[in-house]
Amino acid sequence: MELYKKSAAELSALIKNKSCSVEEATKSVMDRITQVENKVDAYITICEQDALTKAREVDEKIAKGEELHPLAGIPIGIKDNISTKGILTSSASKMLSNYIPPYNATVIDKINSAHMIITGKTNLDEFAMGSTTETSYYKPTKNPHNLAKTPGGSSGGSAAAVSAGQAVLSLGSDTGGSIRTPAAFCGVVGLKPTYGAVSRFGLIALASSLDQIGPIGRTVTDVAMLYSLICGHDNMDATTKNIKHGDYAKNLSSDIRNISIGIPTEYFNLDLNDEVRDSITKAIKKYEELGCNIKEISLSSNEYALPTYQIISAAEASSNLGRYDGVKFGYRSSDYANLNEMYVNTRSEAFGDEVKSRILLGTFALSAQGYNDYYYKAKLMQQQISSEFTEAFNECDAILTPTTLTSAFDLGTDAIGDADSCTVAANLAGLPAINLPCGLDSDSMPIGMQIIGKKFDEQTILNIAFAYENACGIVNMPEIV
């Protein structure tokens, strides 16, 4: 039985019914990693022995009749910018290539408390800066549907691992589309939660006001199960909201009759690939058949969302990355004559070009010269974008857009600046958004659509995605040759 092909919900049922053991499920995934990792390159660190040891421990708990979480024994990959005690957490950077954290991120404590099985740490763009996973210090990750194409980024390793069967679930982080874009390119489901719904304690920061940890899985049910586990208030993260979260998986419903879905004109005026446009149009028609009310709406400031995001995220990144100076932890240059040279040489040697360029942009945006001209105006535009979403939600329950302008493009493609054109606005407004596969292009590459919801209304967008998935199915796991 190829257990690595099972969804988390299916595997959970098999384990509960004792149709398979946790060790068997874990070994199936580990064997799959052995089979295809040298082609996909989804992982930076693989934790095979620890995973199998933990699997046997969970099997012992099951044998004793202990009541365990539904996700107990489910193999999960962790993006390598999420702190894991005793396991390399490099953020795919030379700067942290020797960093072993002494503590877990809050989401990792929750995963451990549920007795999930960590398979390893997945690849990403360096410090989550990028849309292709090609800026990683270690290697580029490949799209399992076509190894010549990008899996998207920055959570490309997390999405590719799930798509290829190298993990049943994974965690990513999303600052401007870094869960949703790779989920779209790899044909899986990815959820960016509401800002403040999931603790960021232990997440290596890119832009603290935009970052959010979220789940990636093959099905909506899987994503809802993992989100239900990781969400909630955390005293270690003052930005988390102390609100009640239900069981999002148990509350899934495919009855979405009379749900109102807004279609923003501005997103469809972008330079969409024809096949993406056709797939989204067909999905909208399917929602009409499912009983939804489709309304055309306007989000006129969306054309400014990408430059607004670029300024704000770069400004916060330049501040957050100031801590990497070779003094306290991480890489330190061996070539210096004084303290200032140590700072300069350490950062010059250990940061990649993409990280350096964003630090320079962000430092300028926060300078006396650039603050009023750029950063302050970007913050005003962020407020405008957020206000437009609030007004739009007076007319509809959720908003449907493309996730990306194209399907996955070739590795090495230069024109990637607009890869997050459809996704950054949700981060700027702090809204939940989910990617759902909605078709394949003529080269059999997945196409994704995005559903954006009101703050802390993940249940609605999960239900909307669940109804479509039930009606149209999921993307098959690719054959990797």
The domains of the chain are located at 1-481
Determine the Cα–Cα distance for residues 429 and 302; give it in Å rounded to an integer: 11
Indicate which residue of 136, 163, 173, 178 is catalytic: 178
What's the pLDDT at 481?
63
Query: Is the pLDDT at 269 greater than 80, yes or no?
Result: yes
Name which of 206, 282, 201, 197 is nearest 236 in CA terms: 201
- What is the mean pLDDT of the segment spanning 407-419? 82
- What is the mean pLDDT of the segment spanning 256-282? 97
Known catalytic residue: 154? yes
Determine the Cα–Cα distance for residues 404 and 306; give it in Å rounded to an integer: 13
> Residue 86 is encoded by which pair of tokens?
């005793």
Kindly give the residue spans of alpha helices, DSSP state H, lying in 116-260: 156-164, 180-186, 220-230
Average per-residue pLDDT in the chain? 97
* pLDDT band at 418; cut points 50, 70, 90: confident
N residues, the chain: 481
Determine the Cα–Cα distance for residues 313 and 330; give it in Å rounded to an integer: 23
pLDDT tens digits along 73-91: 999 999 999 999 999 999 9
Indicate which residue of 6, 79, 110, 192 is catalytic: 79
pLDDT tens digits along 1-24: 699 999 999 999 999 999 999 999
Determine the Cα–Cα distance for residues 90 and 81; give it in Å rounded to an integer: 7
Query: Is the pLDDT at 419 greater than 90, yes or no?
Result: no
pLDDT tens digits along 149-191: 999 999 999 999 999 999 999 999 999 999 999 999 999 999 9
CB atoms within 10 A of CB 34: 12
Known catalytic residue: 79? yes
Name which of 86, 81, 87 is nearest 129 in CA terms: 81
Indicate which residue of 90, 154, 407, 421 is catalytic: 154
Query: Is the pLDDT at 27 greater than 70, yes or no?
Result: yes
Known catalytic residue: 313? no
* SS3 assignment, position 85: coil
> Residue 404 is encoded by which pair of tokens?
């990306």
> Residue 342 is encoded by which pair of tokens?
């140590």
Fold of 1-481: Amidase signature (AS) enzymes (3.90.1300)
- What is the mean pLDDT of the segment spanning 27-36? 98
Judging by beta carbons within 10 Å of its beta carbon (0-12, 13-18, 19+), is residue 294 exposed, middle or buried?
Answer: middle
Name which of 167, 62, 65 is nearest 122 in CA terms: 167
